[in-house]
Structure 1
Amino acid sequence: MGVPSFYRWLVKKYPKIVSDAIDEDKGDYKLQVFTPTTFDQVFNSIYEYIDRLFSIVRPRKLLYMAIDGVAPRAKMNQQRARRFRTAKDHQMAEEMEEKLRKQFEKEGKTLLPKEESQVADSNVITPGTEFMFMLSEKLQSYIRLRMSENPAWTNIKVILSDGNVPGEGEHKIMSFIRSQRSSPGYDPNTRHCLYGLDADLIMLALASHEVHFSILREEVLSPSNQFAHTSSLKNSLHKAETRSMKSRGWFKKHPWKKSEVESVTQVENLVSCDVAGLTVNKKQAYQFLNVWILREYLALDMEISSSQKFEDDLERLIDDFIFICFFAGNDFLPHMPTLEIHEDCIDLLLHVYKKEFRNLGGYLVDMQKVDNKKGAYIKLKRVEKFILAVGQYEDRIFNKRTQQRERLLKRTLSKYKDAKEYENEDDLDGGRSPDVVASSDVVSVDQVLTNTKELKQKLKDHIQQQSDLFKNGGVRTDKVKFGIAGWKERFYKEKFSAQSPDEIETIRKSLVVKYGEGLQWVLLYYFSGVPSWTWFYPYHYGPPASDLKGLSQLNVKFQKGLPFKPFDQLMGVLPPRSSHALPKAFRALMVDENSNIIDFYPTDFEMDIDGKRFMWQGICKLPFIEEERLLTETKKLENTLKDYEKNRNSQTLDRLFMRFSGKREQEKVLCCRNRVASEKVKGAIKMDSAIEGIQGTLHLMPKDLTEDDDEKVECARNNLCLFYEINQAAHHGPRLLEGVNIPEKTVDKEDIVETILWHENHGSSSMPSNRFHNQRLKKTDNNLHCGSQNPTPAIISKGAGVGFSSGRGKSSRAHQVESWNNFPKRDVSKPGSFRRGDYGRIEDFRISNQRASTSSRIISNYGPRPVGNPFWQSRNVRNEDWRSNKQWTSGPGPCWRRDDRESSDQTRRPNQSFSGDGGRGRGRGWRAPGT
């Protein structure tokens, strides 16, 4: 879902939902520090990545690998805008690079030549391209090989849903889960783990109403991460720059001496890494987002005060949470000008929801009625009241936004002016003449690499400067001026060309209708699948929240339609610059001036940057694809396709891979194969969950093995691969299934922190400005021990200086040690007695000759947790497998230990001894337990 900062907001507000993933595999997986330039290099990297994820999750029954296929039309508009923007960014970067290369050449600086790369255009990662078709074939071979050689793959089934299967990858997986969940014999305690970075995975996991659900993702919010201490805007800017520069091809073989070429090969990647800010040989850390803990947080945070009229229903509260988050942003509707995720708009949505719940009349959606054709699953009157209540905060939000913008503009322009003056002074002092040439024809490899590094850094700096409109005069184009009287009239005039009040009202009503349709489309998409393949939102802008009057009058009915074919989608989303990814006959439709649809593919287009600071925040105002015109032209060319291209343009089913080793398994699978073959006239048979373990329909697939492909034949001898189709779910009930075991609760009311609304807070964040919230995203000790040379021990002994590992320190004195007596006592006889304030809280003493003062400092906020992988804690109802463990550990900070020698009412204080190195200790002193 298009909410880039949603995960950051979620973890910041609900920190316990995240736990570190423990990699049981001792293999030394390192972060890749090179940019692949060939398809084979990309494929090998993918194999290694899947192996790593497999070793972390260790699936026992099924591995479902889903690649994005053709997306619904509602998503294609966003894909089209992204790809056109990417092509434009690449073009600008290439032009600037060429200028810099000429400048360096004039200065006599030798550079590494550019290299032609197969993956220079990231737009090839779109269904229907040659790259995606090859990826599917390579993954099929990879699966067969792993099932034949790796014991961990032997007893599981693998489903591969490639780019020729319509649908977004995560939604194909969720369709499978919904199908299994509604089938007889389904185990309600099945554990699911979904990998991915997209925020919509969290929404989909919640919408499944499966308790034992976790999301695996790379750790991106750690303080050790290169973007940890930057704002969300800076992070997004860096990502935009990186996206514009990646896979551009910097290095190429050059007729130097052999030794020089070897040197370049060894260090050229380090140049790329150094410029990009990556750490060589850094092990990538992973985290689990545990959905069952998120459910606990939502139950407490969205709690409605008791009333006889309304009964608490956690499942409906969760459904409402998912729905109101759609207003913060999604991939199918443009966001409202009222709400911005980096302004913590979800806090505002939750605040209004809880405040207005009684006035609304109850819950906003009822997904138990999702199959109701009259739209009873959404209460439009309540939704209208809710969003209009949000709209009452518009003026205050816009006013604060304007104030912040003005302050930021003044600071930025002041710094920029000072920097310009400094540059002018340097120019007056004189510098190196651009006409200076190299003094020798022989240039060392080190110098070439240094020059290339300098070129890349200058290119990066230029892109960053050009992206910041505050430094380029773009701020003067704020025509709407939200928050200033008359902003609504200016909004409709500038964005929709409405001149009169009647035109404004006509546009407003149309926006309400289309936006209301979009809300229902997204809701159905997340809970039951694609409601319509052809529907899309026909505007570039969303309406203000206060203008959504009339939602309750809508009566929406969707026509299911059919998905585009892969080549049709490519024609709908690719820019002319990426026409090389299409068959030759189709390319002419994009680039030929006589093409009947050439107007769909402008080489230059308007970027609306009105009121924006960065270029990447601009809106691409591209013409919308007219489906009928497009399909009419592409259908004429289908007969010109070669067989290989026809396969690329086809729509297929998922592939199911099964392995058998023993006689019993062989008989079972062969029986399955014979059943399919014997009923191939009918086209399919239903799988027996008692035999195959999953529900679905099998189809006999065409022979895809050739006699001369010995490797494939050998791998396939003990493997079975069939087309697999999920059964259409009769009804996916948004409720907990009978017999599900609920994990023991780990969240209480003290973990819910009241937040200040963004527009009411004098700072920039709505989160409380205390150290508990600032430090809660720190690494736990698991990551520190595996990735740091100096891991933080479990017990901290203090008294040797001030601050973290700084200062000369002082020897401990009796009156200073006595201050520890005031340290709060804790009852550790029962794990449940821990309070939120106990989790990692210790006292940080400021020692001086006069007195010992204390200041609270948070060292870790993950609190006591079990040894081992928290992902598997949901196996038991009460988690006896780890709750009964007698040794407790925490992240960086104190380690509370209990053993048989401690009575149930015994309390423990932090260690009262200090490490000082004879009064000359440096920083804090560390003492390991038991020493």
Structure 2
Amino acid sequence: MGIPKFYRWLSERYPLLNMSVAATEAPPEIDNLYLDMNGIIHNCTHANDPNLKLTETEMVVRIFTYLDKLIQIIKPQKLVFMAIDGVAPRAKMNQQRARRFKSAKEREAREAEIKARGEEIDPATAFDSNCITPGTPFMDRLGRHLRFFVRRKMAEDPVWQKPNVIFSGHEVPGEGEHKIMEYIRWQKLQPGYPPNQRHCMYGLDADLIMLSLVTHEPHFCLLREVVAFSGRSRGQPTRETLDNPCAENFILFQIGLLREYFEVEFGLVGQLPWAPGGLVDVERVVDDFVLFCMLVGNDFLPALPTMDIAEGGLNKLITMYKDALPQLGGYLTDAGDLHHGRLEVLLRQLAELEMATLQERAEDTEWFENKKQKRGGGRGGGGGGGSGTGASLGGFGKLRDPGLAALEGGLLDPLAGAALEDEEDEEEAKAQ
């Protein structure tokens, strides 16, 4: 699921990354296509349409149709790697359990409400998305159907006959995208590996961008459906929504071009006194970029509370990194090893901005509360709105005691923050 709003942030900051690919157009030649199958399964079983009522047979047929459409669009020349999520790593297992427990409880509450009204539950709406979990009977049946479908297409369809097809089912441990990355790393270790292979991965998760970057492959792109962004006030980025889970139009998100953007942007930092030739190594910068993106959002670690992409958190991190890089004495990471002293320099600078970020949030909250009171008809006197807001925020507007404000201010309430994260998780889970 990855980083909320990250894809939109990248698309706005580097506007040429997305290349439109209609189903009727020929995309660039691709050697290897990797499919994160859980995104396809979610879209074809329930997607974002609450009124969609499908039987299991119809769901399986939709998955077959969608899968074949992706192959026909890309026409991979050497490899198709299909990966379904297996058992997740322990670091993510607790998060998955909590999310699925909440989903099941909400489903039970909805069904109880329907029964209380004396209505019958439509069997067509009885599909539970929690079935899309390793080890369930639904996933076992789906795995058998997919194996049959792949064998038949390889026997009958010339487009499927050209590449090798590898299917990694839910029985194989690990998330789909990590199984794909493990295979790519294994490929690169083989003798005679061609360095200029063209890779394409399908999936909507923002963390696929991170995983694609750390492969350091020069020719890599992500295949995604066309997404629509809903506007919000004050020009802030909003969560992405899937426009149509069975869309005819797709986009290729060009990871190779993103690396070139980095080369241009970070090349403007100037001479690095500690670097060979004084030049920035874009490969090392890519690794550092992935590291501090983990501070903004991660499936395995809690994000920093004041680092929100919508509030310009990632922009601040990049600016601080570029300013500090000449004095750091080296990069933040080295072949996967973290240099704690250099990261500490960056985090200390980040800590100095926390109070300003909290103050901005306090002012936004106070402005919103004032506006809400005015809309309510100015009860209790028009002039008392500001003071009433201050009282309701427990002094949060002036932020006299940061610790107290953090506890009393609704915007910084940990439970409120968790609720907001849950909403975004649900949106991204629907888009998978």
Deviation at 1:35? 2.3
Counterpart-to-counterpart distance in 2, 1:383 and 1:392: 15
Q: 1:381 aligns with which of 326, 329, 341?
A: 341
Deviation at 1:186? 0.4
Q: Secondary structure at the match of 2:186?
A: helix
Contact 2:225 2:251 survives alignment (8 Å): yes
Q: 1:338 aligns with which of 306, 314, 333?
A: 306
Kindly provide the amino acid, as one letter, of the partner of residue 16 in structure 1: L
Q: 1:298 aligns with which of 256, 262, 271?
A: 262
Deviation at 1:360? 2.5
Q: 2:415 aligns with which of 602, 609, 613?
A: 609
Q: 1:174 aligns with which of 172, 181, 185?
A: 181
Q: Secondary structure at the match of 1:302?
A: helix
Partner of 1:365: 333
Partner of 1:411: 371
Seen in structure 2, the aligned counterparts of structure 1 residues 133 and 392 have a Cα distance that, compared at 3 Å, is same
Instruction: Please give the per-residue CA displacement for 1:675-696, whole angstroms capped at 9, x wherever unaligned.
Output: xxxxxxxxxxxxxxxxxxxxxx
Q: Secondary structure at the match of 1:21?
A: strand
Q: 1:205 aligns with which of 191, 208, 212?
A: 212
Q: 1:349 aligns with which of 317, 325, 335?
A: 317
Partner of 1:915: none
Partner of 1:70: 87
Aligned counterparts, 1:76-475, within 5 A: 76-97=93-114, 101=117, 114-117=121-124, 120-221=127-228, 227-230=229-232, 283-303=247-267, 304-310=269-275, 311=278, 312-367=280-335, 370=336, 377-415=337-375, 417=376
Counterpart-to-counterpart distance in 1, 2:299 and 2:292: 15
Instruction: Please give the per-residue CA displacement for 1:9-67, whole angstroms capped at 9, x wherever unaligned.
Output: 000000111100132489xxxx9977243222211111011011111111111100000
Q: Does 1:53 align with 2:55?
A: no
Aligned counterparts, 1:753-772, within 5 A: none
Instruction: Please give the per-residue CA displacement for 1:444-493, whole angstroms capped at 9, x wherever unaligned.
Output: xxxxxxxxxxxxxxxxxxxxxxxxxxxxxxx99978959823324775x8
Counterpart-to-counterpart distance in 2, 1:394 and 1:354: 19
Partner of 1:41: 58
Kindly provide the amino acid, as one letter, of the partner of residue 381 in structure 1: G
Instruction: Please give the per-residue CA displacement for 1:634-661, whole angstroms capped at 9, x wherever unaligned.
Output: xxxxxxxxxxxxxxxxxxxxxxxxxxxx
Q: Secondary structure at the match of 1:210?
A: coil
Counterpart-to-counterpart distance in 1, 2:394 and 2:144: 52
Contact 2:288 2:333 survives alignment (8 Å): yes
Counterpart-to-counterpart distance in 1, 2:87 and 2:114: 34
Seen in structure 2, the aligned counterparts of structure 1 residues 211 and 96 have a Cα distance that, compared at 3 Å, is same
Deviation at 1:347? 0.3
Contact 2:4 2:424 survives alignment (8 Å): no
Instruction: Please give the per-residue CA displacement for 1:282-330, whole angstroms capped at 9, x wherever unaligned.
Output: 8442100011110111112223211333332110011111111000010
Counterpart-to-counterpart distance in 1, 2:395 and 2:370: 20
Deviation at 1:361? 2.3
Q: Secondary structure at the match of 2:284?
A: helix
Seen in structure 2, the aligned counterparts of structure 1 residues 219 and 152 have a Cα distance that, compared at 3 Å, is same
Counterpart-to-counterpart distance in 2, 1:147 and 1:386: 52
Seen in structure 2, the aligned counterparts of structure 1 residues 87 and 413 have a Cα distance that, compared at 3 Å, is farther
Seen in structure 2, the aligned counterparts of structure 1 residues 14 and 165 have a Cα distance that, compared at 3 Å, is same
Counterpart-to-counterpart distance in 2, 1:477 and 1:345: 28
Counterpart-to-counterpart distance in 1, 2:424 and 2:416: 8
Q: Does 1:484 align with 2:399?
A: yes
Contact 1:398 1:482 survives alignment (8 Å): no
Seen in structure 2, the aligned counterparts of structure 1 residues 119 and 611 have a Cα distance that, compared at 3 Å, is closer
Counterpart-to-counterpart distance in 2, 1:14 and 1:139: 37
Seen in structure 2, the aligned counterparts of structure 1 residues 300 and 98 have a Cα distance that, compared at 3 Å, is farther
Deviation at 1:116? 1.8
Contact 1:217 1:287 survives alignment (8 Å): yes
TM-score, scaled to structure 1: 0.38
Kindly provide the amino acid, as one letter, of the partner of residue 389 in structure 1: Q
Counterpart-to-counterpart distance in 1, 2:397 and 2:323: 26
Aligned counterparts, 1:582-601, within 5 A: none
Q: Secondary structure at the match of 2:224?
A: strand
Instruction: Please give the per-residue CA displacement for 1:317-353, whole angstroms capped at 9, x wherever unaligned.
Output: 1111111100001001111112112212110110110
Contact 1:609 1:615 survives alignment (8 Å): no
Contact 2:92 2:300 survives alignment (8 Å): yes
Q: Secondary structure at the match of 2:230?
A: coil
Deviation at 1:148? 0.9
Kindly provide the amino acid, as one letter, of the partner of residue 223 in structure 2: L
Kindly provide the amino acid, as one letter, of the partner of residue 340 in structure 1: D
Q: Which has the higher helix share?
A: 2
Q: Percent identity at matched positions?
A: 37
The structure having more radius of gyration, on CA atoms, is 1
Partner of 1:889: none
Deviation at 1:92? 4.1
Kindly provide the amino acid, as one letter, of the partner of residue 230 in structure 2: A
Seen in structure 2, the aligned counterparts of structure 1 residues 233 and 487 have a Cα distance that, compared at 3 Å, is same
Q: Secondary structure at the match of 1:286?
A: strand
Counterpart-to-counterpart distance in 1, 2:77 and 2:10: 30
Deviation at 1:359? 3.2
Counterpart-to-counterpart distance in 1, 2:348 and 2:87: 36
Counterpart-to-counterpart distance in 1, 2:422 and 2:394: 19
Contact 1:360 1:382 survives alignment (8 Å): yes
Counterpart-to-counterpart distance in 2, 1:90 and 1:19: 39
Counterpart-to-counterpart distance in 2, 1:169 and 1:480: 47
Counterpart-to-counterpart distance in 2, 1:126 and 1:180: 28
Q: Which runs of 5+ in 1 are unaligned?
A: 103-110, 222-226, 240-277, 371-376, 421-474, 495-543, 545-606, 620-931
Task: Kindly report structure 1 stretches of 4+ aligned residues shifted beyond 6 Å.
Answer: 31-34, 231-235, 475-480
Q: Which runs of 5+ in 2 are unaligned?
A: 27-43, 380-389, 426-432
Contact 2:231 2:237 survives alignment (8 Å): no
Counterpart-to-counterpart distance in 2, 1:184 and 1:480: 66
Aligned counterparts, 1:552-701, within 5 A: 609-610=415-416, 616=422
Aligned residues: 385
Contact 1:349 1:390 survives alignment (8 Å): yes
Q: Secondary structure at the match of 2:127?
A: coil
Contact 1:398 1:483 survives alignment (8 Å): no
Contact 2:5 2:238 survives alignment (8 Å): no
Counterpart-to-counterpart distance in 1, 2:217 and 2:332: 21
Contact 1:66 1:169 survives alignment (8 Å): yes
Instruction: Please give the per-residue CA displacement for 1:527-555, whole angstroms capped at 9, x wherever unaligned.
Output: xxxxxxxxxxxxxxxxx9xxxxxxxxxxx
Seen in structure 2, the aligned counterparts of structure 1 residues 228 and 236 have a Cα distance that, compared at 3 Å, is closer
Kindly provide the amino acid, as one letter, of the partner of residue 302 in structure 1: F
Q: Secondary structure at the match of 2:333?
A: coil
Contact 1:612 1:618 survives alignment (8 Å): no
Seen in structure 2, the aligned counterparts of structure 1 residues 4 and 237 have a Cα distance that, compared at 3 Å, is closer
Seen in structure 2, the aligned counterparts of structure 1 residues 413 and 196 have a Cα distance that, compared at 3 Å, is farther
Seen in structure 2, the aligned counterparts of structure 1 residues 152 and 14 have a Cα distance that, compared at 3 Å, is same
Contact 2:18 2:252 survives alignment (8 Å): yes
Greater shift after overlay, 189-198 or 52-61? 52-61
Contact 1:17 1:294 survives alignment (8 Å): yes
Counterpart-to-counterpart distance in 1, 2:81 and 2:400: 54
Partner of 1:13: 13
Contact 2:6 2:309 survives alignment (8 Å): yes
Kindly provide the amino acid, as one letter, of the partner of residue 487 in structure 1: P
Instruction: Please give the per-residue CA displacement for 1:586-625, whole angstroms capped at 9, x wherever unaligned.
Output: xxxxxxxxxxxxxxxxxxxxx9534788594599xxxxxx
